[in-house]
Amino acid sequence: MGPIRSSGPTDHDGGVNRAATLYAVGDVRVVESADPGPPPAGWSTVEVAAVGLCGSDLHWYAEGGTGEVMITDPVVPGHELAGVALDGPHAGRRVAVDPAIPCGRCESCRAGHGNLCPDVRFAGHAGLDGGLQERLLWPDGLLVPLPDTLSDDAGALLEPLGVAIHAVHLGHVRPGHDVLVVGAGPIGVLAGAVARRAGAARVFASEPLPHRRTTALRFGADAAWAPEEVEHELMAATSGRGVDVVVEMAGVDEGIATAVACARPGARIALGGIPSTPRSALPAAPARRKGLTFAMVRRMHDTYPRALELATSGVDLDDLVTDRFPLDRSADAFEHAVGRTGDKTVIRVSGS
């Protein structure tokens, strides 16, 4: 089935569907279109409640794309979302929405790696409108029922928590490991919390923004340093050994260099940061001398069950939300979020 878009008249409920649409760099407008209409077989209508703004959304807003993928047509952003299923098997239940729709037929999908599907369709990217709209249609199998103990905001943030879980898994974090997280944005902070629950003995963080260093400490990091001091301080803390695993979530070459400098010989580095350009550079000579293993983090991989477990047993996703905006102020929300004066910005769609 092709991308779902709302256009033209409909008699589904006679209403309209308001959406925050990104037209170009810095140009987000709330517009009205027709109600999406009845869902096809195997799909449900979701009334969207909350959408978190991801770092990739901010790249789209501020720079027009992420790496080699650029804006070509107006699109409704938003892939961190939760809402209420209005019909289908979960009718009347609050749900989180898995934003990736793999093809289900390719080699990667058949091998159980839908996150690597080359034909995956992703909410808010490449013509498939995302969550910043009052109602959207989505496959039943990608709706995750939420327990009453989780808020709508927390339901939306299960997606970045899932990315953090996948990154820690690719880093092969084991009990007793020392772990460094480079970049303490929301996913980096969550990666530190996940690493701790995977048995890490110590978790360190590198982050240029003081308030985000404080957030990393609140979520369980043992120490958080500015990038210019992290190598010296970390080597002192580890008696010159370095860490067993680095989870990089900064998306800049300097972050990769920090990861290489702070890793012990034989360590693993999970690269999850999204750069602004198609190419990244790393200090190859010291990486080779140390025999480092790099793993590239591609979104998440069947992580919602674990994310729900963590979110209901101590990882307080609501504590990560510092700013909330109604749908009507989506442009303000994006402008605020790119300033990175807080942690996670959420747009409340329902009732706004």
CA separation for the pair 74, 129 (Å, rounded): 9
In this structure, what CATH number is given to the domain that contains residue 34? 3.90.180.10
Q: Which domain holds residue 202?
A: 164-296
Considering the domain boundaries, does residue 6 fall inside one?
A: no
pLDDT on residue 9? 30
Considering the domain boundaries, does residue 207 fall inside one?
A: yes
Considering the domain boundaries, does residue 304 fall inside one?
A: no
Considering the domain boundaries, does residue 324 fall inside one?
A: yes
CA separation for the pair 145, 84 (Å, rounded): 9
Tokens 């899932």, residue? Answer: 162
Same domain, 146 and 168: no
CA angle 153, 246, 209 (to 5 degrees): 55
Same domain, 169 and 50: no
Same domain, 251 and 323: no
Q: What pTM was computed for the model?
A: 0.93
pLDDT on residue 14? 53
pLDDT on residue 352? 41
Considering the domain boundaries, does residue 116 fall inside one?
A: yes
Same domain, 176 and 75: no
When comparing pLDDT for 71 and 189, which is higher?
A: 189
Residue 314's CB is within 10 A of a number of other CB atoms, namely: 11
Residue 199 has pLDDT above 60, yes or no: yes
Percent helix / strand / coil, the chain, rounded to 5: 30, 30, 40
Same domain, 143 and 171: no
Q: Which two tokens stand for residue 13?
A: 């409920």
Same domain, 184 and 244: yes
Considering the domain boundaries, does residue 216 fall inside one?
A: yes
Considering the domain boundaries, does residue 9 fall inside one?
A: no
pLDDT band at residue 6, thresholds of 50, 70 and 90? very low
Give how many domains the chain has, as a whole number. 2
Chain segment 254-268, per-residue pLDDT in tens: 999 999 999 999 999
Chain segment 287-332, per-residue pLDDT in tens: 999 999 999 999 998 999 999 999 999 999 999 999 999 999 999 9
Looking at residues 158-163, what average pLDDT do you find? Answer: 98
Chain segment 203-231, per-residue pLDDT in tens: 999 999 999 999 999 999 999 999 999 99
Query: Above pLDDT 70, what percent of the chain?
Result: 95
Same domain, 102 and 126: yes
Considering the domain boundaries, does residue 158 fall inside one?
A: no
CA separation for the pair 279, 100 (Å, rounded): 24
Same domain, 106 and 215: no
pLDDT on residue 350? 85
* Three-class SS of 113-148: CHHHCCCCEECCECCECCCCECEEEEEHHHEEECCC
Query: What mean pLDDT, rounded, does the chain reach?
Result: 93
